[in-house]
Amino acid sequence: MDGVSGAVTWETRELHTAQPFGIARWTHSVYPRTFVTLDAGGVRGQGESAPNAFYGETGATVQAVLPLLAGALEDPWDWDGLRARLDARMPQGHPSVKCALEMAALDWCARSAGLPVWRLLGLSPGALPESSYTVSIAALPEMRRQAREAAARGHGVLKVKLGTAQDEQIVAALREEAPEAALRVDANAAWSRPQARRMLGVLEAAGVEFVEQPLAAGDLEGHAALRGVSAVPIVADESLHHVSDIVALAGAFDGVNLKLAKLGGPLRALEALRLARAHGLGVMMGCMIESSLGIAAAAHLAGLCDWADLDGALLLADDPYRGLEWTAGHLARPQGAGWGVEAG
């Protein structure tokens, strides 16, 4: 146990991907994740903090702020109060810690009520959109292998990470390895404006479904111009940090990638989702590399989305939670109480 504050405890574990996971900015195999537990009245609610350096967090910042923020979780039924107390203590940043605490509150409430969280939130039942499976940046033969094996396992949607010196060859190679799969592309903010223009033709020719974050996070003008000439929809990820970013993004993108850990929790993601819809944006439910606990929380909202990218736990060698039912990229809507997953 790393820490305790009243009825809230937390523990950090290093999770490992089965293969090194590479994107334009970095390649990692080890991911520190902090699991928060609210234990009160014989009911346990859990949440996960999946910090990402791009959003200003690391394992160390999570450790530093949890003792300051955990006390905000005093009444798990008071969701607005929790948010207000978190923002009063730490107005800026630390979204994955706020997410973990909000997740623990919702899990605790839903378990107390004997319901899945999506039921507690009054969301409609129904199938979730098929999740993409990510082919991360590696040597080209390795990327080919990842795509071929994923397609053979039945994954119908592949998302390929780009932002290398050989992006055109990668797209062509993956199209070849998985001719039937829907192909999505994520440049992780790595392209220049001219590069992105050049790549649009390549993506269109390969029948790519959409491209995520082609340009730098702050370059809304560049994205708006790109969108004006692109037949391939453009989806914001790194450009979206806060719910309040959504309105400005609506003029520059066709859709947004929502991740609980960057937006500050499931309820904030739900708010972002509804705002995005009101502004005519397509919506993807995304994830970090995180355990089945974090993925489950995203899955509870994914039925409201056009697209899902929830493979974070599928890439792990040591997922500490179980309970999600996957058939290749098809994730069954969780039916158990709370988030519907258990440790072990």
318 among the known binding-site residues?
A: no
Query: CA 23, 26, 28, 34 torsion: positive or negative?
Result: negative
Q: Do the Cβ atoms of 127 and 303 come closer than 8 Å?
A: yes
- Catalytic position from the list 98, 159, 161, 262: 161
The one catalytic residue among 98, 159, 259, 262: 259
Residue nearest to Mg ion (CB): 237
254 is in an annotated binding site: no
Task: Yes or no: say if 25 and 190 are a contact pair by the CB < 8 Å rule.
Answer: yes
Nearer to Mg ion, 320 or 329 (CB): 329
DSSP tag of 282: E
| 159 catalytic residue (yes or no) | no
- For 328, residues 6+ apart whose C-beta sits below 8 A from its C-beta are 133, 153, 154, 155, 156
User: Can you list the alpha helix ranges (DSSP code H) found in the chain?
Assistant: 59-69, 79-89, 95-113, 117-120, 140-152, 167-177, 193-205, 220-229, 246-249, 260-263, 266-278, 292-302
Residue 105 or 243: the one with the smaller Cβ distance to Mg ion is 243
Least distance (Å) from Mg ion to the CB of residue 210?
11
Please state the closest distance from residue 186 (CB atom) to Mg ion, in A. Answer: 4
| 209 is annotated as contributing to ligand binding | no
Q: Given the complex with Mg ion, which of 85 and 161 has the nearer CB atom? A: 161
Between 130 and 309, CB nearer to Mg ion: 309
Residues of the shown chain interacting with Mg ion in the complex, contacts defined by CB under 5 A:
186, 212, 237
Query: Closest Cα to residue 112, out of 47, 38, 7?
Result: 38
Helix or strand (DSSP H, E) at 258: strand 255-258
Task: Report the nearest approach of Mg ion to the CB of residue 329 (Å).
Answer: 17
CB of 344 to Mg ion, least distance (A): 30
Count of C-beta atoms within a 10 Å radius of residue 180: 6
Q: Known catalytic residue: 98?
A: no
Among residues 211 and 324, whose Cβ is nearest to Mg ion?
Answer: 211
Q: Which is nearer to Mg ion, 25 or 198 (CB)?
A: 25
Half-sphere exposure of 123 (CA within 13 A, CB side): 26
Smallest gap, in angstroms, from Cβ of residue 258 to Mg ion? 11
Which contacts (CB < 8 Å, 24+ apart) does range 162-165 have? Answer: 162/24, 162/137, 162/186, 162/187, 162/188, 162/190, 162/191, 162/199, 163/23, 163/24, 163/25, 163/137, 163/187, 163/188, 163/189, 163/190, 163/191, 164/24, 164/137
* Residue 161 beta carbon to Mg ion: minimum distance, rounded to whole angstroms: 8
- Contacts of residue 310, defined as CB under 8 A and 6 or more positions apart, other chains included, come to 131, 285, 286, 287, 295, 298, 299, 302, 331
**Where in the sequence numbering do the catalytic residues fall?**
161, 259
Which residues contribute to the annotated binding site for Mg(2+)? Answer: 186, 212, 237
Which residues contribute to the annotated binding site? Answer: 186, 212, 237
